[in-house]
Amino acid sequence: MFISFFYLLRSRELDVSLNEWLTLTEALDKGLAGNSLTGFYYLARSILVKSETDFDKFDGAFLEYFKDIKTYEELPKELLDWLNNPKEKKNNYDKAQDEKNLQLSLEEIQKMLMERLAEQDSEHNGGSYWVGTGGMSVFGNNGNASNGIRVGGVSRRHSAMQVAGERHFRDFRNDTVLDIRQFQMAFRKLRQFSSRIEAPKTELDIDSTISETCDNAGNLKVVYQRPRKNTVKVLLLMDSGGSMDYYNNLCSALFQAVQKSSHFKDLKVYYFHNCIYSMLYKDPYCMYGNWVETEWVLKNISSDYKVIIVGDASMEPSELYGRSYYNYGARTDTPGIEYLKRFKAKYKNLVWLNPIVDMGWRTGYWRQTYDALKKEFDMYPLTVQALDKAIKKLLVSK
């Protein structure tokens, strides 16, 4: 059933698996969709879609697939207009009528509504039979009946086509190519365990316990040890702005993955524009004044930090080799390459991640600095596989 809907969803890059599809079929068998399109919409969405970022894709596909279906919810426009502007509400609550109404099921009410709509040709307000406002009938807006269908008016009971059509979740879309999780998994490998940390001794040391107990003539003597923790400290230096804007999504995924990797002992992040000069910025906007001296970083961040530089290494050659004549406020008469070399000299574990996956077709001066820096540093493209390699590189000393 609906197999082509399944393939439509898959072609819309919704990662729906056969398993989930079978679950949906099972749910339909159990009648969980309540024989309505709205029910089916919510049922399918909650089973097939697992992130609010994908809701929009689902809405789009749903609209396309079911666009020709006529539903009960569709009403003539004049009717809606009139119902949306209720006439004065009368105090006409009728208990007997209400009790009679309560006997009706939703299906019966829907059926009655369709019949009534066929008969009715004028406005009715305050009555108990026709569709109207402020009345006791089971249909209409702003009425006094306890149950029934609200026709028109502002309602939270949206129909499926309305909900899908509103595309509420458009803002949630994130068409990032790479999953943050994949990056995170790669960063997990960046760890070196050591028990030489300052933490309370909370783990049972089995070997020592056995040997101490033996020494103690068989009387139990429990020995605890410190848990082993990751000791990796990371210094992340990110290029921001300019030619890097093309890679915003990719870099922000990487950044989030690093940020969320709570297993690092310490993480420091600084930003630079094009190349590292005398100042490193504290945020990606690289605003004048919001910075620390590069010299300070080199002095105070010890050499056991693992350094990851993220940048496209593409700039005007003078920005790399030249002394200051064009100024962002951070440049002095020490050329950028000099600072980069200082980082390389100080930190044994340093890699360069480059969002440019394939430099193949590019030529010109951008190419020059790319090639030069590639020779100077261990440069890896920013893909999951290459990131794995880069992290291995960070863990072994040269």
DSSP code of residue 307: E
152, 75 Cβ separation under 8 angstroms:
yes
Residue 50 vs 201, nearer CB to another protein = 50
Terminal alpha carbon distance of the chain = 60
By CB under 8 A, name the one of 1, 102, 106, 222 that touches another protein: 222
Distances (CA, A) of 182 to 16, 176, 188, 384: 19, 12, 10, 7
Give yes or no for residue 71 binding another protein (CB under 8 A).
Answer: no
By CB under 8 A, name the one of 11, 35, 103, 262 that touches another protein: 262
By CB under 8 A, name the one of 3, 96, 118, 154 that touches another protein: 154
Distance CA 354, CA 269 (A): 17
- Strands 229-230 and 224-225, how do they pair? unpaired
Residue 237 vs 251, nearer CB to another protein = 251
Residue 223 vs 292, nearer CB to another protein = 223
192, 204 Cβ separation under 8 angstroms:
no
Strand partners, 234: 267, 306
59, 167 Cβ separation under 8 angstroms:
yes
Measuring CA to CA, which residue among 239, 182, 268, 261 is closest to residue 355? 239
Give yes or no for residue 46 binding another protein (CB under 8 A).
Answer: yes
Residue 47 vs 313, nearer CB to another protein = 47
In the window 178-217, what residues touch another protein (CB under 8 A)? 179-181, 184-185, 188, 204
By CB under 8 A, name the one of 4, 30, 77, 364 that touches another protein: 30
Distance from CA of residue 214 to its chain's centroid?
55
Minimum CB distance to another protein, residue 162 (Å): 12
Minimum CB distance to another protein, residue 15 (Å): 7
Residues that bind another protein (CB under 8 A): 15, 17, 19-20, 23, 26-27, 30, 32, 39, 42-43, 46-47, 49-52, 55, 154, 156-157, 168, 179-181, 184-185, 188, 204, 219-220, 222, 260, 262
